Amino acid sequence: MEPRREYEQEIDLKDLMFAVLRKWRPIVLLAIVFALLLGGFKILKGLNQLKDEEYVKQNQEEYEASLEQYESTKTRLEKELGNIEENIESQQKYKDESILLNINPYDEYMESATFYISTDYEIMPGMLYQNPNTATSILKGYMSIVQNGDMYNYVIGKLKNKIGIRYLKELVKVEPDYTNNMFDIIVIADTEKRAADVMRYIKGSIEASHEKLTAAIGEHDINIVDESSLVTVDLDLEKKQKDFTNTMDQLDTSLKDKTKELEDLEEPANTLLSRRSILKSSIKYAFLGGVLGAFMVVFFICVVFLMSDKLVNEKELKRRYGIMVLGVFRRQEKKRLFSGIDRLIDRMEGTAERELEEAQTFEVAAANAGNYIEDSRNVLLVGTVSDGAIAAVQDGLSPLLSGVALSVGGNLGRDAQAIKKAASCDAVIIVEKRNKSGFGEIEQELDVIRSLGKKVLGCIVL
């Protein structure tokens, strides 16, 4: 059998995991040691601090200051959140109920009317005393009716679809011209009917106020000198609606930011020293120490596993060199504490099923070797293990391989006599031991066997 010359090393994560698990004792031991060290250190430090009255007092003051700051910040954030939520709710209600914000600025219905106030005032030439011109006072009277809400209340009372006075005021614009005793009224709405109805009722309100102002101020006539009805584009309204939307977005953003700030706000930990707090802190440090200790051992085991040149698993012989594994002997179990855990790991890995008792292993190895011996009658046992271990394999196999002369060769990398024996044999069986035989030595043996042109029947793993 020609061994493989080239091999790209691969890391078998399963082998690595079980290599770590098999070292569970040092992992647990160092974890306990680190847990005791860090936990004990924390206890001693805490007890010493507890005896220091000045330190305890300072610790008390710092905790109370932190707690006061936390409560103040929490109260402030809760108040701000409440204000923002109320503002959002108010703005949303306004948006839903406002007619102005729901008008399409590119399809706005508008009604306008210009009113003129006239009196019987005449300038009397040559007279020192002139009759007062009441037109300006009457115009101010009409403006007062607008401002105090009498006009809007009149309109609301007439409308079939009632709206709030706030929303009605947004639809009406009144512009007085005191110089010419005139005033303009402009009404905008989302529908032609609403605009016309509001303007009609405003005219009714002005007409109803005429008698009242006549009695209060003086005789006058009020006439409509111009009026119009049209559909227009209102860019100012569009800007106002966009500004409102931006304001709502800003409120939502503020609400999210304040909510997150409140969620992230953490109550200061109670750092007041007591025997109970020292114990709790020491337990935490002991846990961290245990994790740290276990991690250090696992890391060291992984590094050793990756850097190691030792044969750990018999499967590596097949993967690296294509050598047939003739038989695997059971590991010599050491009587140790909690050995049941070791057996459990063996069952998880499947090692227990592959490893056989000594007599059964020799029978399997002899059967496998017999399938590859063919015409070979002089078979040499070589390996990096001791000559005594090789001789024990010879004693076990010889009775099971009839017609085959088994002889002990030794280490082909170190023993000149073994090389001479290999030159005169027909085939070779390699004997190696887990966790002792190195791949460098095995490759050196295979190079010698290859140079001699000898057949490798397989390998027996101790």
Structural domain that includes position 76: 23-101+236-297
Kindly tell me if the per-residue pLDDT of 243 is higher than 60: yes
Q: Which of 297, 319, 340 is the last residue of a domain?
A: 297
Asked if residue 282 and residue 329 are part of one domain, the reply reads no
Give the residue from 431, 252, 230 showing the smallest Cα distance to 326: 431
Would you say residue 15 lies in a domain? no
Res 191: pLDDT: 93
Paired sense of beta strands 455-461 and 427-432, if any: parallel
**Separate counts of helices (H) and strands (E) for the chain:** 16, 9
CB atoms < 10 A from the CB of 62, how many? 13
Would you say residue 68 lies in a domain? yes
CATH number at residue 144: 3.30.70.1130
* Residue 69, CA distances (Å) to 58, 72, 267, 333 in order: 17, 5, 10, 64
Res 335: pLDDT: 63
Would you say residue 12 lies in a domain? no
Asked if residue 186 and residue 45 are part of one domain, the reply reads no
Q: What is the pLDDT of residues 373-411, one digit of tens each?
A: 777 778 888 888 888 888 888 888 888 887 788 888 888
Asked if residue 72 and residue 201 are part of one domain, the reply reads no
Give the residue from 366, 321, 327, 393 showing the smallest Cα distance to 409: 393
Q: What is the pLDDT of residues 251-260, one digit of tens each?
A: 999 999 999 9
Write the DSSP string, 251-274: HHHHHHHHHHHHHH--PPP-----
Q: Across residues 164-171, what is the average pLDDT?
A: 92
Res 123: pLDDT: 55
Would you say residue 161 lies in a domain? yes
Query: In percent, how much of the chain has pLDDT > 90?
Result: 29
More confident residue, 123 or 151: 151
* Model confidence band, residue 363 (pLDDT cutoffs 50, 70, 90): confident
Asked if residue 140 and residue 209 are part of one domain, the reply reads yes
Q: Across residues 220-240, what is the average pLDDT?
A: 92
Give the residue from 214, 213, 206, 134 showing the smallest Cα distance to 172: 206
* Model confidence band, residue 354 (pLDDT cutoffs 50, 70, 90): low
Give the residue from 335, 281, 268, 361 showing the smallest Cα distance to 68: 268
Asked if residue 329 and residue 209 are part of one domain, the reply reads no
* Model confidence band, residue 104 (pLDDT cutoffs 50, 70, 90): very high
Q: Which of 186, 212, 232 is the last residue of a domain?
A: 232
Q: Looking at 3-17, 199-213, 290-304, which range is the least confident one?
A: 3-17
Res 2: pLDDT: 45
Asked if residue 424 and residue 316 are part of one domain, the reply reads yes
* Model confidence band, residue 319 (pLDDT cutoffs 50, 70, 90): confident
- The whole-angstrom separation of Cα 271 and Cα 63 is 7
* Model confidence band, residue 10 (pLDDT cutoffs 50, 70, 90): low
Res 3: pLDDT: 44
Res 8: pLDDT: 52
Kindly tell me if the per-residue pLDDT of 446 is higher than 90: no
CATH number at residue 326: 3.40.50.300
CB-based contact 345:15 (threshold 8 Å): no
Q: What amino acid is encoded at 383 in this protein?
A: G
- The whole-angstrom separation of Cα 340 and Cα 158 is 96
Asked if residue 221 and residue 117 are part of one domain, the reply reads yes
Number of domains in the chain: 3
Q: How far is CA 180 from the centre of its chain?
A: 71
Q: Across residues 98-110, what is the average pLDDT?
A: 93
Asked if residue 441 and residue 382 are part of one domain, the reply reads yes
* Model confidence band, residue 420 (pLDDT cutoffs 50, 70, 90): confident
Res 92: pLDDT: 92
Would you say residue 13 lies in a domain? no
Please list, in sequence order, all residues whose beta carbon lies within 8 angstroms of the beta carbon of residue 27, skipping any fewer than 6 positions away.
Answer: 20, 294, 297, 298, 301
Res 1: pLDDT: 43
Res 174: pLDDT: 94
Res 271: pLDDT: 63
Would you say residue 273 lies in a domain? yes
Q: Looking at 94-98, 274-278, 397-401, 436-440, which range is the least confident one?
A: 274-278
Kindly tell me if the per-residue pLDDT of 42 is higher than 80: no
* Residue 351, CA distances (Å) to 248, 347, 462 in order: 69, 6, 13
* Model confidence band, residue 280 (pLDDT cutoffs 50, 70, 90): confident
- The whole-angstrom separation of Cα 393 and Cα 406 is 10
Q: Looking at 17-26, 85-94, 169-178, 418-427, which range is the least confident one?
A: 17-26
Q: What is the mean pLDDT of the chain?
A: 82
- The whole-angstrom separation of Cα 390 and Cα 397 is 11
Asked if residue 36 and residue 157 are part of one domain, the reply reads no
Asked if residue 78 and residue 27 are part of one domain, the reply reads yes
Q: What is the pLDDT of residues 65-103, one digit of tens each?
A: 888 888 999 999 999 999 999 999 999 999 999 999 999
Kindly tell me if the per-residue pLDDT of 116 is higher than 90: yes
Kindly tell me if the per-residue pLDDT of 300 is higher than 90: no
Asked if residue 335 and residue 248 are part of one domain, the reply reads no
Kindly tell me if the per-residue pLDDT of 44 is higher than 50: yes
Length of the chain measured in residues: 462
Q: Across residues 31-38, what is the average pLDDT?
A: 84
Radius of gyration of the chain (CA): 52
Q: Across residues 436-460, what is the average pLDDT?
A: 84
Geometric angle at alpha carbon 444, from 460 and 382, rounded to 5°: 35
- Structure tokens given for 27: 């992992």
Residue 321: is it exposed, middle or buried by C-beta count within 10 angstroms (0-12/13-18/19+)? buried
Res 93: pLDDT: 92
Would you say residue 7 lies in a domain? no
Q: What amino acid is encoded at 155 in this protein?
A: V
Q: Which of 297, 329, 348 is the last residue of a domain?
A: 297
Would you say residue 8 lies in a domain? no
Asked if residue 361 and residue 279 are part of one domain, the reply reads no
